[in-house]
Structure 1
């Protein structure tokens, strides 16, 4: 199961750029023992990369009671991050320093959804 965006995914993200701020939904399922690794990734992301690229965490929380879902559709954590635009997100993930840190995220996750959102008018 993929947990990191691929180059083709980032190209599609940029091709659909409206110039609006990007709000990225992260649904995370941790690998065995992965929560601690993800916390370290999140700390580094928040201290270095989000300020560098103008991003901010709007919400981060632990999954709780599932009201509507099939078996296996619950998530360990939900994070919502806002970026100034899609280009800022793309520049961040291309940053060689970020790519060194993202290994923590990759190792931490068994499954993930990383979905760009667009505001309703």
Structure 2
């Protein structure tokens, strides 16, 4: 199961010409013993968020879902706002940031990284 952004979906996001912020919904399922590694990643990633003008809007533990199919519950949810797609791309390509990504990769057994934009900013609106 992929847990890191890569491939055509990442290329499409970065090539999207829309201006403005992008808010990433992170749905996380920890590997056995992975929470400590993710907490270390989070502490170290904070300086990159600051460097690139991104902001952690919310981080919390998942509770029992009210509406979900089996297997759709998550251990943690994070919401991070990036000033733009381009800034997100620069941050994840930063060689210093790349040195800590193994902490995130090793911490997770499954993840969803869902970019979102405010309503009214869709191209077909």
> Which TM-score bucket, shorter chain as reference?
over 0.9
TM-score using structure 1 length: 0.96
Q: Greater helix percent: which structure?
A: 1
Whole-angstrom distance in 1 between the partners of 2:43 and 2:23: 19
Deviation per CA, 1:54-106: give whole Å up to 9, x if none. 10100000001210011111000000000100000000000011111010000
Q: Does 2:100 match 1:101?
A: yes
Q: CA deviation at 1:15?
A: 1.8
CA RMSD after TM alignment: 0.9
User: Could you say which residue in structure 2 is the equivalent of 1:32?
Assistant: 32
TM-score using structure 2 length: 0.93
User: Could you say which residue in structure 2 is the equivalent of 1:114?
Assistant: 113
Once the two structures are superposed, the pairs formed by residues 1-121 of structure 1 within 5 Å of their partners are 1-46=1-46, 48-121=47-120
Whole-angstrom distance in 1 between the partners of 2:73 and 2:118: 24
Whole-angstrom distance in 2 between the partners of 1:7 and 1:113: 15
Question: Structure 1 runs of 4+ off > 6 angstroms?
Answer: none
What are structure 2's unaligned runs of at least 5 residues?
A: 121-125
Whole-angstrom distance in 1 between the partners of 2:2 and 2:57: 24
What are structure 1's unaligned runs of at least 5 residues?
A: none
Q: CA deviation at 1:17?
A: 3.5
Q: CA deviation at 1:9?
A: 2.5
